[in-house]
Amino acid sequence: MILAVGFAIDGSRYYKARSHLQDAIDTAALAVAASTEQDDTKLRSQAESFVLANLLPNTIEGVEVASFSANAEDIVIDGSGFVETTFMRLANIERVNVAASTTTKRAPDQIVEVALVLDNTYSMIEKDPNTGETRIQTLRKAAKSLVETLLPDDPSKQGTTSIALVPYADHVNVGADKRTASWLQLNGEERSVTTGEGNRQCTKTTNIVAPYCSKYNTEPKTCTRVRDGVTESYSCPVNTTCAQYSTTKTETTCTGTDRVTTNYKFYGCVGTRVTGTLRQSDASPTARYPAYVETRQNCAQPIIPLTTDRKSLLDAVAGMTHQPSSYTALTHIPSGIVWGLNVLSPPLPFEEGEAYDPQNRSPRKVMIVMTDGDNTLVSRTNDGKHLEPSGNASQIENQINGVNEDTTAVCSSAKAKGIEIYSIAFMVKKEVAKSLLRKCATDGAHYYDATDAAKLTAAFSGIARSISQVRIAR
């Protein structure tokens, strides 16, 4: 009876050791499968190091990689060791051999193209109550981590992944250097316009008038307004009683005009194509996009086309802002997705993308769409410019519903080409916006509801892992 109990104890130690060995060689196989090393001897050495590094003391003895093989598709590792017995020694069994085996599929040597379509609107100024960071700060960190994961700092470890960055707000910025591109239609010439004669002269005249209140006592008051979904407070004091009466009034009379020079430039801002349903896809690549010559930059930072240049991407991510100039950037999601589609598609406007693979394997094209709110702008039908909707509440709702339909249509166009879409709702409150993003994603597993900064970071990290994933296939 005592011997049987002893055998059971040693047996339990054996099964624990075998499970532990299996975990260790699985971990080693995954690490080796993700390596860019091609030399089998060095790969085996890596595997042995990973196995030994993942063993717990007093669990299994004499562990070694009994056999190792690697080819273009698989890593196969057989591991062995033994357990010193305690009670089985009474039956002259001093040790029990332990063995485990694993086969891991290597990440295929495929071309991967990733488009980051990221919200850079005014609402990204809001802070996460847990971290104190603004949303745009959190987004910069999360996007930086993804770029660093997919494009390692060591060039020898970089695969065939390229990344594009498409910041979007009310308009997308294709870059001021594209002003002469055949696929753009500027709404005017870049120019400097000078008005006025420069001969303005003013004189002041003080007259005696009937007594009037020239200074009021004021009462502090705080008003609120909503801009891109953000409720802002501002001071709006009101006049109460008169603090000072006057019997004189000074009037200023001017003749002539000031000389004023206004510069009109193309800052890279483009709108929506207005012909037919071109606003919903990248069809007809030669059909021009409306582009605007303006007095300031009324769009996000410029697109970075597909590239393997890690530094240029990290610099562009660090430069993302919710307010590129002195205006409040509102939200037009479909234009961001259209340009995410454009950077992945091989025809014009951008031609860095490879031809589509019907199976989306090589190249594997991935779009990551992130927003922190819903559409707040509509497209003007005559020139494609994005403006706030107008009219009564019902009319405004109908206009926004139309933009939401365009968003879904653009996502469907991308998915019809085989593009894999991840969508992220970052601290989104309205269910209509979440529903829009769920519809946009490839499937439910590709949608992330990131309710705080930590979940946004986790979403980007999970997506990065899924793009570069290897798997156990034993």
Give 224-240 pLDDT, tens digit per residue.
988 787 788 889 999 98
In this structure, the strands spanning 161-168 and 112-119 are: parallel
**Whether the predicted pLDDT of 434 surpasses 70:** yes
pLDDT at residue 93 is higher than 90: no
pTM: 0.76
∠ CA 170-173-175, rounded to 5°? 165
pLDDT of 4 above 80: no
User: Rounded to 5 degrees, what angle do the CA atoms 429, 432, 438 make?
Assistant: 95
Q: What angle do CA 263, 267, 268 make, to 5 degrees?
A: 150
Query: What is the per-residue pLDDT for 42?
Result: 87
How far is C-alpha 376 from the geometric centre of its chain's CA atoms? 19
With a cut of 80, say whether residue 158 has pLDDT above it. Answer: no
How far is 30 from 473, CA to CA, in rounded Å? 11
CB 63 within 8 A of CB 79: yes
The answer to whether 369 and 143 are in contact (CB under 8 A) is no
Task: Assign 385 to helix, strand or coil.
Answer: coil
Q: Across residues 445-453, what is the average pLDDT?
A: 94
> In this predicted structure, what is the pLDDT of residue 359?
92
The pLDDT score that the predictor gives to residue 159 is 64
Which stretches of 391-453 are assigned E, i.e. beta strand?
420-426, 447-450
CA distance 461 to 466: 9
- Mean pLDDT within 69-90: 83
Number of neighbouring beta carbons within 10 Å of residue 124: 29
Check residue 244 and give its pLDDT. 93
CA-angle at 311, arms to 310 and 314, nearest 5°? 85
Residue 402 has pLDDT above 80, yes or no: yes
Q: How far apart are CA 165 and CA 115, in angstroms?
A: 6
Mean predicted confidence (pLDDT) in 13-20: 86
Quick check: bond before 334 cis, omega within 30?
Answer: no
Query: What average pLDDT does the chain have?
Result: 90
Q: Provide the CB-side half-sphere exposure for 392 (13 A, CA).
A: 1
Instruction: Copy the structure tokens of residue 12.
Output: 């339990």
Sheet of strand 61-70: strand arrangement: 61-70, 74-84, 95-105, 471-472
pLDDT at 91: 73
Token match 């349903």: residue?
Answer: 277
Would you say how long the chain is, in residues? 474
Helix axes 333-344, 393-416, angle to 10 degrees: 10
Q: Judging by beta carbons within 10 Å of its beta carbon (0-12, 13-18, 19+), is residue 313 exposed, middle or buried?
A: buried
- Give mean pLDDT, residues 134-142: 97
Report helix angle 453-467 to 135-150, nearest 10: 20
- Class assignment of domain 112-191+271-469? alpha beta
Provide the residue ranges of all domains of the chain, joining segments of one domain with +.
2-105, 112-191+271-469, 201-255
Cα separation, 420 vs 129, in Å, equals: 33
Which residue in this structure is represented by tokens 């006592």? 217
Counting residues of the chain whose pLDDT is more than 70, the rounded percentage is 93
Q: How many CB atoms lie within 10 A of CB 56?
A: 11
Topology of domain 2-105, CATH: Nuclear Transport Factor 2; Chain: A, (3.10.450)
pLDDT digits (tens, 9 = 90+) for 305-363: 999 999 999 999 999 998 777 778 899 999 999 999 999 999 899 999 999 999 998 89
**Single-letter code of the amino acid located at 24:** A
Whole-angstrom distance, CA of residue 29 vs CA of residue 325: 51
pLDDT at res. 248: 93
